[in-house]
């Protein structure tokens, strides 16, 4: 048996290196220094109290085995822990740890007294001075998969998120980057994945954090001289969710530290989930080495929800709140607020509040008045989809017929009227209007508008049709 402390520790390291990932070995064992060996007790020096707790949390079984192998059944291990702010002449304090009786305490440091001036690990999510590293996931329980409405606009992202929730770190979707515009459900889906993981793997450490908070914590760590603690804290996370990662743009130091955290987590099979308002290829001010890692897994986009999805979202909110709204009101909201889920839900909440405070029944007229105030100037521009629905309802035609290629007179007339009002009441281009009407070109839309104008001047019944429809479409 080797008799000096360096020889014993080097022999232990050979076994440890063969049993853990290389990156983990470099992070958690290379910084350790063997100090002395007396009476079958090996003392090793670790750089911080946090470092010691991490070894206890994750590698105690392995340490017990290697110490016993090298020093026999009586082998013991002591830690000498460096405290950075105790002064140059202050000696590290030690922790004695039995490693061969099978009853070693889990995190014995919890009950270990420390001098009042001894520095504790700076966990950016707990009150300074608390010793126990206790991570709150920061997940919103309302943002679950059950409350996330699936549609064509989000099916890929939702399916990938569900796969990650079932097997974090064990799929090809690592990292999973979810991107899309404001209010389309990125944050909701990120939380849902985290909640799903916590439900199935309660022992995993899951953390949701906004990119700006991450950056501010890093700045505080620099000010406090605790950068190593900051990095070690994030390297201990099993599932890291960073929201709005595009805010790292231009922050070189923050990107650099996140790069190292990312590498450590990825190499150790930990799951990384990111959200952004744009795909990696469009991110400006980001280091290429970081962007290349964003592309390692899957980038899934969230598009603006289609009509069916918008209606389903509103109906789900109604069901969850035990409220029933008239179908025409739900459809009106879904048709006229069509780019942003958050805005649509806000309009829904405002409508309920107005009806409750004013003790009014929720009617279509009330919905129109509310949207005029809620969306302000843009509210007066109804959507092409809504115009088509109102026209089809008025003439009792299926919407699919309006968008078909049929040349039946009544269908052609309804199609032309919808084009006419789309041009008059929206800011859409002629090409876009034509695309909504079964792929017609801009010339067809122009012809339809002229035809409707001419008929309104010569046909009294047709003019009545237009007047009725305009009343239905105009927001009072």
Q: In the chain, what are the domains? A: 5-109 (3.30.300.180), 145-302 (3.40.50.300), 307-360 (1.10.8.60), 384-473 (1.10.1750.10)
Residue 41, SS3? Answer: strand
Q: Nearest CA to 265 among 175, 378, 344?
A: 175
| CA–CA separation, 398 and 403 (whole Å) | 9
Which DSSP letter does residue 359 get? T
Residue 176, SS3? Answer: strand
| CA–CA separation, 294 and 134 (whole Å) | 28
Q: What is the pLDDT along the chain (476 residues), one digit of tens a residue?
A: 446 888 889 998 999 988 888 877 887 888 888 888 888 888 888 877 767 777 877 888 888 888 888 888 888 888 887 654 444 444 444 555 444 344 443 333 322 333 333 344 455 554 344 333 456 788 998 888 888 888 878 888 999 999 999 999 988 899 999 998 877 889 999 999 999 999 999 889 899 999 989 998 998 888 888 888 888 889 889 999 999 998 898 888 999 999 999 999 998 999 999 999 888 888 888 888 888 888 888 898 888 777 777 888 777 777 766 677 778 888 777 777 766 677 777 777 777 777 777 677 777 777 777 776 665 544 445 778 888 888 988 888 888 888 888 888 889 999 999 999 998 888 788 888 888 888 888 889 999 999 999 988 888 888 888 888 888 887 53
| CA–CA separation, 387 and 399 (whole Å) | 11
CA dihedral sign, ordered 109, 112, 113, 114: negative
Contacts of 214 (CB under 8 A, 6+ apart): 242, 254, 258
Which DSSP letter does residue 145 get? G
For 362-369, the CB contacts below 8 A with 24+ separation are: 362/325, 362/326, 362/329, 363/326, 363/329, 364/326, 364/328, 364/329, 364/332, 365/476, 367/329, 367/332, 367/333, 368/332, 368/475, 368/476, 369/475, 369/476
Q: What is the pLDDT of residue 104?
A: 40
Q: How many CB atoms lie within 10 A of CB 403?
A: 18
Q: What is the pLDDT of residue 250?
A: 85
Q: What is the pLDDT of residue 471?
A: 82
Q: How many CB atoms lie within 10 A of CB 291?
A: 14
């Amino acid at each position: 048996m080797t008799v000096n402390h360096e020889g014993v520790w080097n022999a232990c390291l050979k076994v440890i290196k063969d049993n853990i990932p290389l990156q983990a070995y470099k992070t958690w064992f290379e910084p350790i220094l063997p100090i002395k060996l007396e009476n079958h007790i090996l003392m090793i020096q670790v750089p911080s109290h946090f470092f010691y707790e991490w070894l206890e949390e994750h590698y105690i079984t392995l340490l017990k085995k290697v110490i016993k192998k090298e020093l026999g059944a009586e082998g013991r291990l002591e830690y000498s822990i460096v405290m950075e702010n105790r002064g140059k002449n202050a000696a590290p304090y030690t922790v004695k740890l039995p490693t061969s009786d099978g009853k070693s305490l889990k995190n014995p440091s919890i009950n270990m007294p420390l001098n009042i001036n001894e520095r504790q690990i700076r966990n950016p999510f707990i009150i300074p001075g608390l010793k126990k590293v206790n991570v709150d996931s920061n997940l919103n329980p309302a943002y679950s998969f059950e409350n996330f409405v699936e549609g064509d606009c989000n099916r890929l992202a939702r399916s990938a998120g569900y796969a990650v929730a079932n097997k974090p770190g064990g799929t090809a979707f690592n990292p999973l980057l979810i991107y899309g515009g404001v209010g389309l459900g990125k944050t909701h889906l990120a939380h849902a994945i985290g909640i799903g993981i916590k439900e199935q793997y309660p022992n995993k450490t899951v953390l949701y954090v906004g990119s700006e908070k991450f950056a501010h914590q890093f700045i505080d760590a620099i000010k406090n001289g605790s950068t190593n603690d900051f990095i070690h804290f994030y390297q201990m996370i099993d599932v890291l969710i960073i929201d709005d990662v595009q805010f790292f743009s231009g922050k070189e130091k923050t990107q650099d530290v996140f790069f190292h955290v990312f590498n450590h987590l990825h190499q150790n099979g930990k799951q990384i989930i990111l959200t952004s308002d744009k795909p990696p290829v469009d991110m400006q001010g980001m280091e290429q080495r970081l962007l290349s890692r964003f592309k390692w897994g899957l980038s899934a986009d969230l598009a603006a929800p289609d009509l069916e999805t918008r209606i389903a979202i509103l109906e789900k909110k109604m069901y969850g709140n035990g409220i029933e709204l008239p179908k025409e009101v739900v459809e009106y909201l879904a048709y006229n607020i069509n780019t942003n889920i958050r805005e649509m839900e806000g309009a829904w909440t405002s409508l309920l509040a107005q009806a409750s405070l004013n003790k009014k029944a929720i009617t279509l007229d009330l919905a129109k008045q509310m949207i005029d105030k809620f969306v302000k100037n843009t509210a007066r521009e109804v959507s092409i989809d809504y115009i088509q629905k109102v026209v089809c309802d008025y003439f009792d035609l299926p919407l699919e017929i309006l968008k078909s290629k049929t040349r039946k007179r009544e269908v052609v007339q309804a199609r032309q009227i919808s084009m006419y009002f789309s041009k008059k009441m929206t800011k859409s281009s002629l090409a876009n209007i034509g695309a909504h009407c079964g792929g017609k070109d801009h010339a067809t839309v122009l012809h339809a508008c002229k035809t409707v104008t001419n008929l309104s001047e010569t046909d009294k019944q047709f003019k009545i049709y237009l007047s009725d429809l305009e009343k239905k479409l105009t927001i009072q």
